[in-house]
Structure 1
Amino acid sequence: MTEQVKGPRSYFPSIEAKYGKSIEEWIALLRPHAGEKHMEQVAFLKDLGMGHGHANALVHVFRAEFEGAA
């Protein structure tokens, strides 16, 4: 039985489908913005055309799991 994805990661399939980039590509775009405030990172993604909810979900996961990682 497959476990259903919950929380911000549940947005990942629709982010990839809607904006045409993989989550790994979005994470790579966010890496130079590590250390900025949450809403600054969200604004950066919104400037690239991402909607607020999708940007917020991606930034949440980025800050929790990827920010500062080599």
Structure 2
Amino acid sequence: MTDAPSATGPASYFPSIEKTYGRPIAAWQALVRQHCPAKHMELVAMLKREHGMGHGHANAIVAHTLAEDRL
């Protein structure tokens, strides 16, 4: 039996984010996209201010979402 590969980068925070804040990552990403266009740090500040998210978690969601949208 092989272990599943571990998430790296921003996605490595996702299990903790879902557990801590009680929403799936897709819901957080939808929220970020609703506030676009906005600058990266403006989106991070919104998650922190309006949802009480810690900086690292907010930054991970924003970074991952914006990177997906650039593809």
Question: TM-score higher than 0.5 here?
Answer: yes
5 Å-filtered alignment, 1:1-70, equals 1=2, 2-47=4-49, 48-66=51-69
Number of equivalences: 68
SS in structure 2 at match of 1:5: coil
Deviation at 1:32, TM superposition (A): 1.5
The unaligned stretches of length 5 or more in structure 2 are: none
CA RMSD, aligned part only?
Answer: 1.5
Q: TM-score, normalised by structure 2?
A: 0.87
Identity %: 54
Runs (4+) of structure 1 exceeding 4 A deviation are: none
SS in structure 1 at match of 2:47: helix
